[in-house]
Amino acid sequence: MSCELKLKERIGTINPIFTCQPAGAQYASIGIKDCIGIVHGGQGCVMFVRLLISQHLKESFEIASSSVHEDGAVFGALNRVEEAVDVLLMRYPHVKVIPIITTCSTEVIGDDVDGVVTKLEEELLQVKYPDREVHLIPIHTPSFVGSMVSGYDVAVRDFVKYFAKKDKPSFKINLITGWVNPGDVTELKRLLAEMQIEANVLFEIESFDSPLMPDKSAVSHGSTTIEDLISTADAQGTIALNRYEGGKAAKFLEKRWDVPAIIGPTPIGIRNTDTFLQNLKAMTGKPIPDSLVRDRGIAIDAITDLTHMFLADKKVAIYGNPDLVIGLAEFCLDLEMKPVLLLLGDENAEYENDPRIKALQDSVDFDMEIVANADLWDLEDRIKNKGLELDLILGHSKGRFIAIDNMIPMVRVGFPTYDRAGLFRYPVVGYKGATWLAEQMANALFTDMEYKKNKEWILNVW
Amino acid sequence: MEDVTKTRVEQLIDYIMKNCLWQFHSRNWDRKRQNENILGMTTKLLCGEPVTPETPEDKCYWVDAFCLAEAYRERHPWLATLGVDQIRELMAKLHEQLDFQTITGSLNEELSDQHY
Amino acid sequence: MPYHEFECSKCIPERKQHAVTKGPGEDLTSCLPKGYLNTIPGSISERGCAYCGAKHVIGTPMKDVIHLSHGPIGCTYDTWQTKRYISDNGNFQLKYTFATDVREKHIVFGAEKLLKQNIIEAFQQFPDIKRMTIYQTCATALIGDDINAIAEEVMEELPDVDIFICNSPGFAGPSQSGGHHKINIAWINQKVGTVEPTITSDYVINYVGEYNIQGDQEVMQDFFKRMGIQVLSTFTGNGSYDDLRAMHKAHLNVLECARSAEYICNELRVRYGIPRLDIDGFGFEPLSQSLRKVAMFFGIQDRAEAIIAEETARWKPELDWYKERLKGKKVCLWPGGSKLWHWAHVIEEEMGLKVVSVYTKFGHQGDMEKGIARCGEDALAIDDPNELEGLEALEMLKPDIIFTGKRPGEVAKKVGVPYLNAHAYHNGPYKGYEGWVRFARDIYNAIYSPIHQLAALDISRDPIPTDKGFVTQRMLSDASLPEEIRASTTLRQYSGAYDSVTPLRDKTYPTFDSRPAAAE
């Protein structure tokens, strides 16, 4: 009976769980209204991230590149940033916010992006766009540091840091969601609405799930406004749901603007959603209404139908973004399942001090491994060569072949989930998310029982 | 060029442009070589002269030439009404025109690159 | 020059030279856009980088190789599982990707030691794989790691492994095409001629510039095998590393995607005297001509004719069923590089479609020459298109369908234009006779999607038909067809299976008597 937090034992990465920092900054950038980022690096750093996002959401998002070619790599490429800003502003009259997102190449060649932003503010913006509101925000996300998760965290902080400014105290709170789906935002906003709480939602990405309109007008983009970002400094408090995706921004607001911060827990499952609501109540003084008591009851009713009959003792491996993985593991435990392997795709010194991981270490009554800096081979190798037996895998689509080749049922969760239809539309957070997750897991097990003819008759009388 | 010849050259070129790839190798020396050899053999075939490719290179020209000659015969019955000299003259004009469109008059700035 | 100036690009005047409309009487001496020039920063171009051109497009389809990228994880992750190049060995190349995971400390102190450990470790983890390609990335190119030296060291220590080095960092060229070039040249310089193959036929080809998208290579290989031709190697779809080291022993290079792989054919011609035959594997007539030419080269035309006759008889009635229903439909043919010329003419000839525009994301002027040559009048040709130009063109041209990539396909969706994936295909393969019918079927299903029809209706103001609970594609496509076509008993819809490729893997092939005269 042990729960060990360790690092991947190999030096290389076979089938990475994450992509690199600039991707996280890009995902954050599309959450802001009137914002098109410029990624300062080679074109692939943008093209593939746009493709990845469009695979996940089945929508296209605009992100620009400074298109660094050979000459720029040799002589410096700041001229490419200057040109990119001008071209973008000329052709996209609605754009107000332009993060300049660095990559490994431009960090290695040492391009002074902060310097060029100052130069552009003093020259280009004043001379050519004197009447236009334009915000250029350097975001340093070298790919050889952290992962897409830290890139997201850094970008959210940098946006907040750039805009936040005290005006007059507001009753709003800041809700920093972390790297979630449109369906999660819908559920979170519903919970807030039930409690009659107004929030600056970072980021307001329900609109990522955009319609196909008869007048062809729809575009997919986030809708957090500059005003929302500015007023984060006036909020009565910040709740950052994810420690590693938005935690930095919450801490910044607390330190710089005295906005009290509550970081976590990721509201996955009943218990963590309860805590989230208690935190909301404590922060705003608003009571938890009967409607949410009822909502919670519906979720618990649904889960009760599944948990001890079907889910209990099922061994699960979970990989993906750290807050998601930990949240899912906690929920699995409440569901009487055994999350035997958790894979966190990057190395982060803070994992050791994460109270949730400590709690797992203190109380888990079976052997659980938590591997940081993990890759997907950590999972597959254990299954294929080291005797790991699993009933279920929870993770994103990049690990699909592990499930397929080893015939283990899998519920797609996290980012990206391109090999299943419409998952971004459903929440994993809140009471609705708890129901959805439990039912997805149960249905995945049921389908597998039928496919393998493994006591499939048991469902005859359920 | 008289009108009828011009029209015929245009028809012949149009077939090459729409259906063939051999005229679009990436460098001008290759295009020159391809045009010369393939159209040379095509001319002979259309004139009923023997073509006996020996080397692999010649065989490769020959398959393109053979298919082109076949296509021309099939599509352009007027070819059968021409004498050998007329065919040669027409094909020379075609060659000239193809060289112009793909080499000398080409706007492709990479044709003169010294490397592949 | 009949340049087309986009409204949205008037403020970047150099863009004007990148789009032309082929007017009446125009030919290539008066109508060709600029191409393969540096991208305009901030234009939201669709181009990728030279690393992906090398690793993702050409390197990775090799099926029995550990593909290791020397750099941070992102390059590896991003170019993994976004293509459909399958293989007959369980898709190892799709499933596994390797990164050396370069971190800040390596940027400062060098990553050569890290690289060496990675190589050894990867071979240990996959003991059955003895071949590796190492791809340089921006970061490791800039810090100047000597990848070649490390690979040499490992090959000395592990004599049963072989390693290929591809130095094509993302910034090495205006687009992914820079990477195509670099990996072609690197392969012939490093690897061709290092293995002596077993020759099993008098007729030996390399099949070049073919990436086995949804099984294209396997379909074409089936034709070659039926003719008794040995496909010594395929560069690179479903291709084997050691087979490709033996490319110098083929009699003929059969070249499909000249954009990505003409370099190696040109070099093989110069260095080894192997001729280059450009072919089209798409479309009945071009494919028939292609098979005929390959066979004629070897003096076995009868074998090709037998295949052509059999396949045409089997599939032509199905192609024609679709052609009757696709006539006059307008297409924006907006692929990456080679498909604009592979498809431009033949979809008009054999499917009755009308190509209103071609574009190339990463092609060169040579691709535009071929594409424009094969287009009809008034087609708009765009080099290195960007997001706004694409939207403006769709608005202006009002196509019925667009053939493009996944993400631009999502843009088209929003303006009511159905898309087919030109790179990865919808339900391919699209090569071969059956494949071509599958393509026509996919186009038909896209254009006549009843949901697509519903998308255009505004329920708040348009007259809404309330007399139907459903509409079928057939009700839409056949409404204005003449009765004799609608009721034709010779034409028929596609009748093949969902998976047309896997059965080919277990096929047995006839043996032919050797014809010494034909051998070189």
- Domain residue spans of chain A: 3-14+297-461, 21-151, 173-288
Mark yes or no for CB contact B26/C373 under 8 Å.
no
Q: What is the pLDDT of residue A19?
A: 98
Mark yes or no for CB contact B57/C28 under 8 Å.
no
Mark yes or no for CB contact C297/B63 under 8 Å.
yes
A26 Cα to chain C: minimum distance (Å): 13
Mark yes or no for CB contact C74/A21 under 8 Å.
yes
Residue A355 CA from chain centroid, whole number: 20
Q: Which is nearest to A111 in space by CA: A81, A70, A85?
A: A81
User: Which residues in C lie closer than 8 A to residue A65 (C-beta atoms)?
Assistant: 39, 41-42, 44-45
- Locate the domains of chain B by residue range: 3-21+36-106
Superfamily classification of domain C204-307: Nitrogenase molybdenum iron protein domain (3.40.50.1980)
Mark yes or no for CB contact C50/A42 under 8 Å.
yes
CATH for A3-14+297-461 is 3.40.50.1980
User: Which residues between 88 and 147 in chain C have a beta carbon less than 8 angstroms from any beta carbon of chain A?
Assistant: 91, 94-104, 106-107, 114, 117-118, 121-122, 125, 137-139, 141-143
pLDDT in tens, A348-381: 999 999 999 999 999 999 999 999 999 999 999 9
Tokens describing residue B86: 């007329």
pLDDT in tens, C446-490: 999 999 989 999 999 999 999 999 999 999 999 999 999 999 999
Mark yes or no for CB contact C29/B100 under 8 Å.
yes
* Closest residue, chain C, to B26 (C-alpha): C366
Q: Which is nearest to A61 in space by CA: A33, A40, A87?
A: A33
- Locate the domains of chain C by residue range: 50-190, 204-307, 452-519
Mark yes or no for CB contact C297/B67 under 8 Å.
no
Nearest to C32 among B24, B60, B108 (CB): B108
Tell me how far apart the alpha carbons of residues C282 and C262 are, in angstroms, rounded to a whole number. Answer: 18
Tokens describing residue B78: 């007027």
Q: ipTM score of the complex?
A: 0.97
Q: In chain A, what percentage of residues exceed pLDDT 70?
A: 100
Matching residue, tokens 């072609």: C184
Q: What is the pLDDT of residue C515?
A: 64
Strands (E), C400-468: 401-404, 419-421
For chain C, residues with pLDDT lower than 50 are 518-520
pLDDT in tens, C386-437: 999 999 999 999 999 999 999 999 999 999 999 999 999 999 999 999 999 9
Tokens describing residue B101: 């469109």
Superfamily classification of domain C50-190: Nitrogenase molybdenum iron protein domain (3.40.50.1980)
Task: Give the mean pLDDT of A225-253.
Answer: 98
User: Which residues in C lie closer than 8 A to residue B56 (C-beta atoms)?
Assistant: 251-252, 273-275, 520
Nearest to C74 among A10, A23, A92 (CB): A23
Name the phi and psi angles at C144, rounded to 5: 80, 30
Tell me how far apart the alpha carbons of residues C386 and C405 are, in angstroms, rounded to a whole number. Answer: 13
Tell me how far apart the alpha carbons of residues C23 and C381 are, in angstroms, rounded to a whole number. Answer: 11
Q: Which phi-psi region, left, alpha or beta, contains residue A264 (left: φ > 0; alpha: ψ -120 to 50)?
A: left
* Closest residue, chain A, to C458 (C-alpha): A214
Fold of the domain built from segment(s) A173-288: Rossmann fold (3.40.50)
**Other C-beta atoms within 10 Å of B78: how many?**
10
State which amino acid sits at residue B23: Q
Helix then strand then coil, in percent of chain A rounded to 5, is 50, 15, 35
Q: How many residues does chain C have?
A: 520
What is the pTM for the complete model shown? 0.97
pLDDT in tens, A83-131: 999 999 999 999 999 999 999 999 999 999 999 999 999 999 999 999 9
Identify from A21, A43, A386 which residue to disrupt to test chain C contact, counting C C-beta atoms within 10 A and taking the largest count.
Answer: A43
Per DSSP, what are the bridge partners of residue A393? A317, A410
User: Which residues between 382 and 401 in chain C have a beta carbon less than 8 angstroms from any beta carbon of chain A?
Assistant: 387-388
Mark yes or no for CB contact C275/B17 under 8 Å.
no
Tokens describing residue A83: 């040109």
Q: What is the pLDDT of residue C518?
A: 46
Mark yes or no for CB contact A144/C138 under 8 Å.
no
Matching residue, tokens 């001890």: A308
Identify from B15, B17, B112 which residue to disrupt to test chain C contact, counting C C-beta atoms within 10 A and taking the largest count.
Answer: B17
Where does the pLDDT of residue A205 fall: very low under 50, low under 70, confident under 90, or very high at 90 and above? very high
Mark yes or no for CB contact C263/B116 under 8 Å.
yes
pLDDT in tens, B74-93: 999 999 999 999 999 999 99
Fold of the domain built from segment(s) A21-151: Rossmann fold (3.40.50)
- The DSSP secondary-structure symbol of C13 reads G
